[in-house]
Structure 1
Amino acid sequence: MSRPFARLLSATALAALPAAAAALDQDVRTEEVAANVATFADGLDHPWALAFLPDGSMLVTERPGRLRRVSAAGEISDPIAGVPKVDARGQGGLLDVALDPDFETNRLVYLSYAEPGEGGTTSTAVARGRLDRDATALADVTVVFSQKPKVASTAHYGSRLAFDDAGRLYVTLGERFAERFRGQAQELDSHLGKIVRINPDGSVPDDNPFVGREGALPEIWSYGHRNVQAAAIHPGSGALWEIEHGPRGGDELNIPKAGGNYGWPVVSYGVNYDGSPVGTGRQRAPGMEDPIRTWTPVIAPSGMAFYSGKAFPEWEGDLFVGGLASTALVRLALDGRMVTHEERLLEDAGQRIRDVAEAPGGEIYVVTDEDDGAILRIAPLRD
């Protein structure tokens, strides 16, 4: 017997249970497709990111500092050994995970995390290690990037990792939130508030925009960012797209170009949390790039993926974005660089969506940022 359709995952039947404890298994009708949304695995402690392995299992990070393998059947492993020490205060901890483009031959896994320093300071760092065949340990772990400077803040680490078609690694970096630090987003001798581009071993590509400029850090790709927690490579153009947190209003979708200045904290489409103007109080300024799209109220973006699978042909080319404040999976229909339509999925479940990924079979998986976090699977209905 088939189950009745729910409106975008209505939580009515689950109202008597805490949202984090209620396993989901519902058929839903979205604007374009009929799908099933189900809990694939749960019991995770603030999962932050997932990456699919070639065998259909996945690596999942937990912010307190654990990396786990989740099998294709949803079984969660013991923590994988060899993960670097993380500073798990505030928004820090173990954050993104990405596979090397040549993972099937070199087994390299990349992790971003809050790296502890002296006197309570931290920075965003990226380490890589070789995953053993049983996915129980990382070996030869090496730090390939560490944000400069380390500062006394436990917020705005950025931390998304994205490899382009040439195998170069983009790392998104926050401006570390505090007003005394955020001005460094405009300074080229600091990594704060930047997107950097490095080679997989941490070396700097010769064609980075600030290579050879006196006083500029050569890893920098673009600057003037607030806190980029969603990033992905467009499958058609090969360009990096990113969505960053605004303050009170003004989340931004950008396509960061080499050497581009994206305005923070001089201009913003939002205001400070106390209602005061950001910087100049303006939304635009000469020499600063305009966003493709903004959100007020914010969605609080975290994690994104372009859809290119066969499970949902109606969604081909759409962009899916996790929403923390919006407690939604946001679908954006695109025409080139333009967003033509927005749909919000999973809203009624009331879960903070931290990351989203497309499975090898075309299903969509998301992780929820909760004490009892879960992996949810969105799959097409079968006749």
Structure 2
Amino acid sequence: MRKLFITFSVLFFGVLFGQNNSIVVMRDGKNVGILTPDTIDGYLYISTDQLVTIGGGPRYFAKKKFKESMRLWGTRVVFSPENPFAVVDGTPYNLGLPVRLDKDGLMIPLTGFFETFALATNYRMIFHSDTIELTSIEQSRSEISGTTEIESLSQTPPKNENENSARKKGKKGLIVIDPGHGGKDPGAIGPSGIREKDITLAIAKDLKSELESRNYEVVLTRDSDVFIPLSDRSKLANKLKADLFISIHCNASKKSGPHGTQGFYLSPAKTNEARAAAALENKSLLMEDDPIIDNLDELQYIMADMVQSTYQRESSILSYIIEQNISKETNLEARGPQGAGFYVLYGTYMPAVLIETAFISNKKEEKFLTLPKNQRKIAEAIA
């Protein structure tokens, strides 16, 4: 399933951009250049010559080390041939595909590079059919205070010695669906009293049925109104050796205006909006019988190994795909996927996303969420 997911992600963006079409790169609203990708082994690549043209910085080639470095808008990036990792300001990131060497020099995987560049810097990235849009985030990752004081949270990935149960049953894969909140934790409550925990469970059950109809094995972290500690949810996914973990939620704001659907993945938050969404969902920690924290300020553990998460790129792409699908099927505004420190996603050993389906604090969207037909639409869009 993981290999299938990676292939689907790359193909998805290949269809989105089209084969060998010109792509405009926008940075903070300004056209900084046009890229013309080449297709290598079915995937879209761009040359480092093109990157330098849009980035405007110097480049260097170390012949002995066979590495090429350049500066893009002040950020140093290093590539080497046949290596799937790029080093961005001293930190390695997985591009998903290897850098290639051909007659035009080094060729860089298009979507992998821009996805990585946005993750590694203070940019928000949006893909359009013929445009890549990069927008600066005022508060970069370096401004986030606090390091880990919860070292016991670190876990060693389990040995994947056996296939999961889905493989043995001839299924396409095993997906764990997590209906947010439950039991004594109602989650966010809408203007008319609708509880998030009820909406998430309804959508999760519809999603389970839809995925099972497509030959996936699906396990819910809860199938009734019960309270499940956040850490137990990810532990279940790990124990089952799941291929994907999807946590279903409803967003909320103190203001009634915010609206739309949004996908999240585990990463240091770059915006106050993302931090607020994570804080909202992490409140469940305070309701546990033996909470690991006394207040949410202790969750400023944004750890270095989050950035290096093996599945971060897959998760970020998955959150984008799901968000776009929900927006297309429901006409809810797509707010743009973001990374944040959601505790329920921490420690998962597979691509993992948290989907804020809509704003339950918005009267119009609260009403939308209560209708079974709309819950099914959301489930079908996620599937």
Normalised by the size of structure 1, how large is the TM-score?
0.24
Larger Rg over CA atoms: 2
Determine which structure has the larger helix proportion and give its number: 2
Normalised by the size of structure 2, how large is the TM-score?
0.24
Determine which structure has the larger strand proportion and give its number: 1
